Structure 1
Amino acid sequence: MDLITPDQRDELFDTLERDAFHLELRDEYGVPRENAPFARWKRGERDDCAWMEPWLARVRTSASAGRSMRRLRIVTEPVSDYIRWEHAVTPPMVEAGEEIRWLPRHQLPAVEFPLDGSDWWLFDDQLLAVGRFDHDGRVLGSELVTDPAVVAQCAAVRDHLWPLAIPHAEYKPA
C-alpha cells in the first residue's frame, strides 16, 4: 500500500471544492507536533495553540471560500487524557470555521465502519485519505482511495452519524 505524508494529505485541502469531512475513531494519537503541547497541558500550563496556526490558517481559508470542514470524533467514555486535551484545544479550530462534533462510543447506533475501522478524510464525496497508524498510534501516512463504492460507504456513515453527534460547545467530556 502506498502512503502519502501528512503534509501531502494537507495539500488536498488546496483542491477542495465543497467540503471535507474527518472521522476520528481513536482515543489516542501519536502525532509528534502534539507531544510538547500535550505535555504542557498535562502539567497544567496554558496553551496559546500557536503550534496549530498552519492548520487554523487552512481552515480559515476554506471557510472564507465557502467550503465546509467538519470533524466527528467518536470517543470512549470516560475519556482518555488525550481526548480531554483534544477537547480543550478545539475552540480555536471551531473559531477558525471547522465544525466539530463528538459522539460517545456507547451512544453509537449499529454501524459498520468501512476500511477496517480506520480514520479517514472524505474530500468532496470523491476521494478518501485513510489514516494509517502503527501499533502505538503514530501516524504512518494516508492511503488514497477513490473506489466509488467505498467512498459511498463512508459518505453514508457520515450522513448517518453526523446528526447524532454533539456539537463541540455542548459536549462535556465524561
Structure 2
Amino acid sequence: MYSLTGEELDELFRSPWQRAFHLELQDTYAVSGEFEPLRQFLAGEAEDAAWQQGWLDLIAEITTAGKTVQRVRVVTEPHTDYTRWALAVSPRNIAAGEDIRWLPRHAIDPALLTGDDYWLFDDHLAAFSVFTRSGEGAGFAVTTDPVVAAHFRAVRDRVWSLAVPHDEYVQASHR
C-alpha cells in the first residue's frame, strides 16, 4: 500500500483506466475549501462555484476522453445540512460527466458496505480515502491487493444496483 496526495492524485485520475467508482459514506465532510460555499448555501446566499472548478475541469477532461466516473453517496434521511448542499451542487458534477447516485442508509445493511470511503479504478486499483483527525481529506491509501479489490467490486456492484440516480432521488426527496 502507498499514499498519494496533492498533484499525485491528479496523476492517478489521468492515468490509464476506463472506469472509476467512488463510494461516500459520511453524512458530513470537513473540507476547508467547502466551508464558505456551504455557509453561503445555508444562509441562502449566492455561491461562487470557483471552489469546485478544478475538480469539474478534471472530470470533464477524463470523461471527454471516454472514461466513466461513478459515485454513490450513502446518506442518512432526513438529510444533514451537508447532504442538502451536496444535492444542490451535484448537478455541476453531473454536467462535467460524473454519474451520481444516492442510497438512503436505511436501504442497505451496514454489514454490506465498507467501513471507509474509497475509489476503485478498473476493478483492481483500490484507493481508500484518508482523512485527518479533524475530517479533512488527506489523500488516498492505494493498493492493488486482489482481496481488497474484490471486496470493493462486490460492494460497488451491490450499492450501484440499489442506488437511485440523482434526478430521480431529488424528485422523490421533494414529494
Give the drift of 1:33: 1.0
Q: How many residues align?
A: 172
Instruction: Say yes or no: does 1:93 pair with 2:93.
Output: yes
Q: Which residue of 1 aligns with 2:138?
A: 140
Task: Give % identity.
Answer: 45
Q: Which residue of 2 aligns with 1:102?
A: 102
Q: Write the deviation string for residues 109-130 of structure 1: whole angstroms up to 9, x where unpaired.
A: 464334xx11001111121110
> Which one-letter code corresponds to 1:75 in the other structure?
V
> Which one-letter code corresponds to 1:170 in the other structure?
E
Helix, strand or coil at the partner of 2:4: coil
Q: Write the deviation string for residues 88-117 of structure 1: whole angstroms up to 9, x where unpaired.
A: 000011011100000000011464334xx1
Match of 1:164 among 150, 162, 165: 162
Query: How far apart are the structure 1 equivalents of 2:90 and 2:44?
Result: 17
RMSD between aligned residues:
1.8
Moved over 4 A (4+): none
Q: Which residue of 2 aligns with 1:27?
A: 27
Q: Which moved more, 1:18-27 or 1:133-142?
A: 133-142
Helix, strand or coil at the partner of 2:153: helix
Structure 2 unaligned segments of length 5 or more: list them.
none
Query: How far apart are the structure 1 equivalents of 2:6 and 2:89?
Result: 20
TM-score normalised by length of structure 2: 0.90
Give the drift of 1:43: 1.2
Query: How far apart are the structure 1 equivalents of 2:64 and 2:16?
Result: 13
Give the drift of 1:36: 1.2
Query: How far apart are the structure 2 equivalents of 1:29 and 1:165?
Result: 20
TM-score normalised by length of structure 1: 0.90
Query: How far apart are the structure 2 equivalents of 1:51 and 1:110?
Result: 32
Helix, strand or coil at the partner of 2:119: strand
> Which one-letter code corresponds to 1:21 in the other structure?
F
Q: Which moved more, 1:47-56 or 1:96-105?
A: 47-56
User: Aligned pair in 2 of structure 1 residues 161, 35: CA closer, same or farther (>3 Å)?
Assistant: same
Helix, strand or coil at the partner of 2:152: helix
Give the drift of 1:15: 0.4
Structure 1 unaligned segments of length 5 or more: list them.
none
